[in-house]
Structure 1
Amino acid sequence: MKRIFFVILGFISLGFGIAGTVLPVLPGGPFYLFAAYCFTKSSERLDNWFKSTKIYDKYVVGFREKRGMTRKEKIRINIIADFFILFSVFYVDILIVRIILIVLMLYKHYYFIKKIKTIPPEENSA
């Protein structure tokens, strides 16, 4: 029963990851990482299959080995997130919610700049 649960979660997460790769609104990377975790917990066959895909090589291995992002990836994610946060700030009429959203946006920038390692572009394209 536990294995079936992880298989289902893995494929759902993989679907969200693929959607996140195509749609600029959704980040795909975290979903691919979670899918890898779920497939590892579910079965060796699914784990081996996922590890042999280009998705795994591009998104999961890159993150696991380098533990960082290129400047271009950081900027793209921040611009998209800022757009939706600012849209929410203008849409919501409650002052405390606006303040919380702005604080979260500022913290997001701090986190991306100070906590996530910036990888030079030539290192990322292996």
Structure 2
Amino acid sequence: MKIKNMFYVSLGFLFLGLGIVGIIMPLIPTTPLLLLASYFFVKGSKKFELWFKGTAIYKNHLEEFIKERSMTRKKKIMINLFADAMIAVAFFMTESTVVKVVLLLIVAYKYYYFITKIKTV
């Protein structure tokens, strides 16, 4: 296995671990972290991609989203609340008006995307 592929697989396991923590701790967004894990497994190794897609974690948390491009209202709310909390920390810690405007634009785009691009089931 090439070093680049090993790096991708390592990142896949890192985000998988964080996603598993997110299953247990409701403040950590599970779906985006597992999506990142899936992405890195796909980039790193066909073997690890197939393994990950066969896990119960993938089937319970990602499979429906990947196939249907949809999420439950609860998942959308949890992801957005966590992201808003992280952005709020940066917003209140910076004194730069430009950074604050960029952060507000990110929040606006995030809500636009979740409302218009991802179906609610």
TM-score by length of 1: 0.74
1:24–1:80 contact (8 Å) kept in structure 2:
no
Deviations 1:56-92 (A, max 9, x none): 1112211121111111111122222222322332221
Map 1:14-53 onto structure 2 (within 5 A).
14-40=16-42, 41-44=44-47, 46-53=48-55
1:47: Cα distance to partner?
4.1
Q: Which runs of 5+ in 2 are unaligned?
A: none
For 2:70, the equivalent position in structure 1 comes to 68
Count of matched residue pairs = 118
Q: Percent identity?
A: 43
TM-score by length of 2: 0.76
Are residues 57 and 106 of structure 1, via their aligned partners in 2, closer, same or farther at CA, if it must alter by over 3 Å?
same
2:29–2:82 contact (8 Å) kept in structure 1:
no
For 2:108, the equivalent position in structure 1 comes to 106
For 1:123, the equivalent position in structure 2 comes to none
2:29–2:78 contact (8 Å) kept in structure 1:
no
| RMSD, aligned α-carbons | 2.3
Which amino acid counterpart does residue 87 of structure 1 have in structure 2? V
CA distance in 2 between partners of 1:6 and 1:84 (Å) = 25
Are residues 107 and 39 of structure 1, via their aligned partners in 2, closer, same or farther at CA, if it must alter by over 3 Å?
closer
For 2:94, the equivalent position in structure 1 comes to 92
For 2:6, the equivalent position in structure 1 comes to 4
CA distance in 1 between partners of 2:108 and 2:92 (Å) = 16
Which residue of the other structure, out of 62, 85, 88, is the alignment partner of 1:83?
85
Q: Which runs of 5+ in 1 are unaligned?
A: 120-126
Are residues 67 and 97 of structure 1, via their aligned partners in 2, closer, same or farther at CA, if it must alter by over 3 Å?
same
